[in-house]
Chains A and B, each alone.
Chain A
Amino acid sequence: MIETGRIALIIALPVAVFSVLASVIGARAASGRLYQNARYGILTVFGLYTLALALILYVFFTRDFSVRIVAEHASRDLPDLYILSALYADKAGSMFLWGWLISLFSVLLVFPARGNRQSIISYAIAILAVIEAFYIALVTFGVNIFAQHSSPPADGFGLNPLLQNLGMLIHPPLLYIGFAGLAVVFALVVAALISRDSGTLGNGLVRRWALFAWCTLGIGNLVGMWWSYNELGWGGYWAWDPVENAGLMPWLLGTAFLHSMAVRGRRNYLQVWSFCLIVFTFVFTLVSPFITHGGIESPLHGFYGSPFPPFILTVMIVVVIGSMVLLYVRRRDLKSEAKPAPFVSREGAFLITNIALVVLVSVIFIGTVLPRIVEVLGGAKIALDRSFFDKTCGPIMLLLVLLMGVCPLLGWGKMIWKSAGRNLIFFFLAVIVIAAAILISGIGNWYIAAVVLCGLPLFVIFREWWRGSVARHRNQGINYVGAFFSLINSNRARYGGFLAHVGIVIIALGVIVSSFYNIERTVTLDIGESMRAGKYELYYDELIFKQDNVKVSAVADILVSEHDKSVGIMRPSYAYWFSYGDFFAEVAVRTTAAEDLFVSLVWTDFDPEDRSATFRVLVNPLIVWIWTGGVFFLIGGAVAIASPDKPSSGDKG
């Protein structure tokens, strides 16, 4: 029965090719009929793909272990909730889902009647159909996702316990949605250039898709950090692992693209730059599967024995070369009409932001691939530790934070400071002087200065909100709260941008402070002993053994008191999973606005007589700020997406 799925996808392949031809020829001949055919082709591919997806989910739900993917990733005791996790725990399954999302997005793109935009949409769906065909070929001919198991086991191998977590349930799909959305943006921008409709580059369609994809990708990365922190037991959330970098780089490039678009929408320049950015953003979404499928070794995550990397690399190279050729052929259409703005203007600040982001991505990229390149070139095997990334990326990120503070004070295209900003220049200088003084006098380290710098954009943004709200309150007679919301509503792109910036700065504060002020202790305790970590006292009260049919676990009762006042019980556990033949820790975290108390049970002998156990205890300050910042970021993104299309929509602070 599962074979039906494969047949559906194999039929979808020529349909996708037909859609490519129909839409391209239709666009050239301005034939409405061919365009309609291409639309139905895209819809048919989606229908067939969805049928295949439904079949895959069905065999998972029925635990049909005669299918390889089910036997390898699911088991009878796996909760149904984690069926999806089991699907993308597979090398073919992850690409399968990603391809399906691209198919879905293509339908969302062609379905609304677009009237005079037919030409650009035609080319865009042609490009998306090519990408779909690539994914379909990977999961049918590369690794057959529908393959039968040669000797079906009675029960499946099961899903890694670390992946049976809510964070891991939504982290991969969020990344795929972000990546697939960026493919749509790429297709639209390239289509605009092919169809000589360059004015469209700044139109609402590109902007909304870009914001949607970028926002989802950003949240996806944050959820990945949250999972790493709560599930992996090491007490951190970011290790500069190649896999993590692969999720971050396209997001950073997407950030640069959005900001260059904002300038482009306002003054008709930075066109070539914007084009190159979206090309590389799309190419960098492919770095992630390239790494996870084994192109670069990552200790954190890898699919075993995947044949995909050479194909993915080929596509990356073809996309870059193809786009550059197109750029050359169409170079006259991208002539900048406007004179570049003076350096000290909002355009100038956006430009520096762009350059800083590109430098940041370059450094991360070099750090990620260099060990592999040196090795391939026959040199020694080398490794870069995370201090490389901290030292190179830290300063650039601080510069970006600073720019978020400067930007709202500058006017578009004007050399002079906005009247609002003129008096703030003194405030700025004061903050920089204080920061420099902290550094030079040796009172504190550079991270104190970093925290001070983070205050800057927050102050400037809150001041803008305050001034705007007060003005509205005065002119329109609405109360302050109402005035604030009406202010946000008046220019959603600008104030949505501000909200996102506030989110980023809150995240930055959480990252800086938690990196430099954490306390870490590892201690082995007997029942009745206690330990100290910062202001906390942890009393090891009891160890209880529990067994069910998947695991045997030891659950510790830790009585926590703060300044000698009891604040509760924490229950970290340590379990042996039968199907995996391995131990996994389940951490306990107590979160307050100021800090997290993180307790992980890392070892016990499961001996009922001697119940000593080793605990790793961390006090991580401001961790919850990182997740809270993510909420601001998400709201900001949503507000900006909801912005109507008008020329001022480029006015993102």
Chain B
Amino acid sequence: MGFRLKKYVIMKKRYLIGGGIILIAVVYLLYLSFGSSVSYYVTVSEFFSRSEELSETNVRVAGKVVDTSIEWDADDLELAFIITEGGRDMRIVYHGAQPSGFRGGTSILVEGKYNNEGVFRASQLILKCPSKYESIDIE
């Protein structure tokens, strides 16, 4: 009995050490990289209610592309448009080509920084279509 108990304790210790290594490694890696990779994710109206705190920091803002607002300057590769949500509008400027599927009415996530001139400079546009690969219900 005593022998078995001892063996059990050794087993347990082994699992504790193994588990400990895994836990420490995970926590350390998270600690190393978390701060720089995390950004807030807000809607347009949420952004403006916290604009002082969020200006000049990297954020993701969700909204709908306003149909008539899209201006595309092909020569300078500059895409300007307005996104709207909760009754608030935000002007977006993005340098680069339009992502496919980009058009008025699309739900979009823009990642970038809002500057003092009232323009959001986007570094990335992410189209947010839950129905992208599945048609919307026609019923």
Q: Identify the A interface with B (CB < 8 A).
A: 68, 71-73, 89-91, 149-151, 153, 157-158, 160, 162-163, 233, 272-273, 294, 297, 299-305, 335-336, 340, 355, 358-359, 362-363, 366, 371, 380-385, 387-388, 391-392, 395-396, 522-524, 582-585, 602-603, 605, 612, 614, 616
- Chain A residues near B134: list those with CB within 8 A: 72-73, 89-91, 160, 302-304
Tell me the interface secondary structure of chain A in the complex: mixed
Do residues A603 and B29 form an inter-chain contact, with CB atoms below 8 A? Answer: no
Please report the C-alpha to C-alpha distance between residue A162 and residue B129 in the assembled complex, in whole angstroms: 14
Question: A149-B138, A384-B38, A387-B33 provided; 10 other pairs, C-beta below 8 A?
Answer: A71-B138, A89-B133, A299-B127, A304-B136, A355-B21, A371-B41, A380-B41, A382-B38, A391-B37, A392-B32
- Chain B residues near A363: list those with CB within 8 A: 26, 29-30
Please report the C-alpha to C-alpha distance between residue A138 and residue B104 in the assembled complex, in whole angstroms: 36
Please report the C-alpha to C-alpha distance between residue A233 and residue B98 in the assembled complex, in whole angstroms: 11
Q: B55 → chain A, closest Cβ, in Å?
A: 16
B 1-39 binary contact with A (CB < 8 Å = 1; else 0): 000000100010011001001100110011011101111
Do residues A388 and B34 form an inter-chain contact, with CB atoms below 8 A? Answer: yes
Determine the residue in chain B with the shortest Cβ distance to A371: B41
| Interchain residue pairs A-B with the least CB separation, the first 7 | A388-B37, A391-B33, A602-B97, A381-B41, A304-B131, A157-B135, A524-B74
Do residues A385 and B26 form an inter-chain contact, with CB atoms below 8 A? Answer: no
Chain B positions 101-139 with a Cβ under 8 Å from a chain A Cβ: 101, 103, 109, 111, 126-139
Determine the residue in chain B with the shortest Cβ distance to A71: B138
Determine the residue in chain A with the shortest Cβ distance to B73: A524
Please report the C-alpha to C-alpha distance between residue A363 and residue B74 in the assembled complex, in whole angstroms: 41
Do residues A582 and B101 form an inter-chain contact, with CB atoms below 8 A? Answer: yes
Do residues B138 and A582 form an inter-chain contact, with CB atoms below 8 A? Answer: no
Give the residue of A153, A358, A616 whose beta carbon is less than 8 angstroms from that of B97: A616
Do residues A383 and B26 form an inter-chain contact, with CB atoms below 8 A? Answer: no
Please report the C-alpha to C-alpha distance between residue A395 and residue B38 in the assembled complex, in whole angstroms: 19
Please report the C-alpha to C-alpha distance between residue A359 and residue B98 in the assembled complex, in whole angstroms: 38
Do residues B38 and A584 form an inter-chain contact, with CB atoms below 8 A? Answer: no
B 61-92 binary contact with A (CB < 8 Å = 1; else 0): 00000000000101101000000000000000
- Chain B residues near A90: list those with CB within 8 A: 134
Do residues B138 and A157 form an inter-chain contact, with CB atoms below 8 A? Answer: yes
Give the residue of A383, A583, A614 whose beta carbon is less than 8 angstroms from that of B74: A614
Please report the C-alpha to C-alpha distance between residue A400 and residue B18 in the assembled complex, in whole angstroms: 17
- Chain A residues near B101: list those with CB within 8 A: 582-584
Task: Report if B100 contacts A (CB, 8 A).
Answer: yes
- Chain A residues near B18: list those with CB within 8 A: 273, 355
Do residues A522 and B96 form an inter-chain contact, with CB atoms below 8 A? Answer: yes
Give the residue of B22, B29, B75 whose beta carbon is less than 8 angstroms from that of A355: B22
Please report the C-alpha to C-alpha distance between residue A73 and residue B136 in the assembled complex, in whole angstroms: 10
19 cross-chain CB contacts under 8 A: A89-B134, A160-B134, A299-B109, A299-B126, A301-B132, A304-B131, A336-B11, A355-B21, A380-B41, A382-B39, A383-B39, A384-B37, A384-B38, A385-B111, A391-B32, A524-B75, A584-B100, A585-B100, A603-B74
Determine the residue in chain A with the shortest Cβ distance to B11: A336
Number of A-B contacts (CB under 8 A): 142
Do residues B109 and A388 form an inter-chain contact, with CB atoms below 8 A? Answer: no
Do residues A153 and B138 form an inter-chain contact, with CB atoms below 8 A? Answer: yes
Please report the C-alpha to C-alpha distance between residue A569 and residue B129 in the assembled complex, in whole angstroms: 35
Determine the residue in chain A with the shortest Cβ distance to B79: A603
- Chain B residues near A584: list those with CB within 8 A: 100-101
Do residues A362 and B22 form an inter-chain contact, with CB atoms below 8 A? Answer: yes
Do residues B26 and A366 form an inter-chain contact, with CB atoms below 8 A? Answer: yes
Task: Report if B42 contacts A (CB, 8 A).
Answer: yes
- Chain A residues near B74: list those with CB within 8 A: 524, 603, 605, 612, 614
Please report the C-alpha to C-alpha distance between residue A67 and residue B14 in the assembled complex, in whole angstroms: 58
Do residues B100 and A583 form an inter-chain contact, with CB atoms below 8 A? Answer: yes
- Chain B residues near A602: list those with CB within 8 A: 97-98, 100
Do residues A381 and B42 form an inter-chain contact, with CB atoms below 8 A? Answer: yes
Q: B25 → chain A, closest Cβ, in Å?
A: 5
Do residues B135 and A72 form an inter-chain contact, with CB atoms below 8 A? Answer: yes
Do residues A340 and B139 form an inter-chain contact, with CB atoms below 8 A? Answer: no
Determine the residue in chain B with the shortest Cβ distance to A365: B26
Do residues B97 and A603 form an inter-chain contact, with CB atoms below 8 A? Answer: yes
Please report the C-alpha to C-alpha distance between residue A209 and residue B88 in the assembled complex, in whole angstroms: 56
- Chain A residues near B75: list those with CB within 8 A: 524
Question: A72-B135, A73-B135, A299-B109 known; A388 and B33 CB under 8 Å?
Answer: yes
Q: B139 → chain A, closest Cβ, in Å?
A: 5
Do residues B36 and A614 form an inter-chain contact, with CB atoms below 8 A? Answer: no
Determine the residue in chain B with the shortest Cβ distance to A306: B134
Do residues B29 and A150 form an inter-chain contact, with CB atoms below 8 A? Answer: no
Please report the C-alpha to C-alpha distance between residue A302 and residue B14 in the assembled complex, in whole angstroms: 42
Do residues A302 and B132 form an inter-chain contact, with CB atoms below 8 A? Answer: yes
Question: A392-B29, A584-B100 known; A383 and B41 CB under 8 Å?
Answer: yes
